[in-house]
Amino acid sequence: MKYVPTRLPEGLAIAAILEREDPRDVLLTANGSAQLADLPRGAVLGTASIRRQAQALAARPDLEVTLLRGNVDTRLGRLRDGAIDATFLARAGLRRLGRDEAKLTPIDTTNMLPAPAQGCIGVEIRIGDEAAQALCGAIQHHDSALAAAAERGVLEALDGSCRTPIAAYARLDKGHIRLQAEALSPDGRQVWRDAGDAPAGTEAEAAQLGRAVGARIRDAGGAALAAIIAGTG
């Protein structure tokens, strides 16, 4: 779901969110997992994610970030051959692939928020397809759907995409949705954060919580953040 636009084509809707996998990122080095603070000064970080780049530079401005694309084996190969010192992978993807790296220690969300709806899989159907809707009702995971709605609400308010440095994480706690979110400049020098809390209700209410948090971030970021989202900053 982290790659799905917040505005769907006419006639389509997300009918189910499956139970969420671990949304956290894993920072991998040639020796296993690490925390950002563990990397040597000036280490080379390979990533194609503008969010991960921004978050890493916000915490460690001394790092050198280089573009790294490809599947899991390609990225790990670049680690083994010494082309890079570290890279990020989503723990959800590693677990779904059955990779041993999924057992490594992830980065806690208190230190690095994931992309909105990271770890969530959604099912998209045609509006009015009652048979598909009924089937999706059997696999809908309520708490995961609320979290995804809240996080995607942040993205919607900021008019962002998977190419924008935006992070959000919602969790269900004692009947409440607790949401944290942030937007960053690509170089990590500017960070705008906000949080919100609301009773756990419907997906529409969760999305409204996300939009409210996103709107406050947008207002705090002003022209600087608007330029980043538009791709001109």
Reported residue count of the chain is 233
**Could you give the count of Cα atoms lying within 13 Å of 103 in the half-sphere of its Cβ?**
3
Report pLDDT digits (tens) over 10-36: 999 999 999 999 999 999 999 999 999
pLDDT score of 161 more than 90: no
pLDDT score of 227 more than 70: yes
pLDDT score of 160 more than 80: no
Report CA dihedral (206, 211, 216, 217) to the nearest 10 degrees: 100
For 102, 158, 169, 179, 222, the CA distances from 110, given in Å and listed in that order, are: 19, 22, 10, 12, 25
- What is the pLDDT confidence band of residue 173, given thresholds at 50, 70 and 90? very high
Domains and CATH numbers, the chain: 25-103 (3.40.190.10), 116-230 (3.30.160.40)
The mean predicted confidence, pLDDT, of the chain is 95
Report pLDDT digits (tens) over 45-97: 999 999 999 999 999 999 999 999 999 999 999 999 999 999 999 999 999 99
- Could you tell me which residues are beta bridge partners of residue 34? 27
Provide the whole-model pTM.
0.94
d(CA 173, CA 199): 9
Mean pLDDT of 161-173: 89
- What is the pLDDT confidence band of residue 177, given thresholds at 50, 70 and 90? very high
User: Residue 116 has what pLDDT?
Assistant: 97
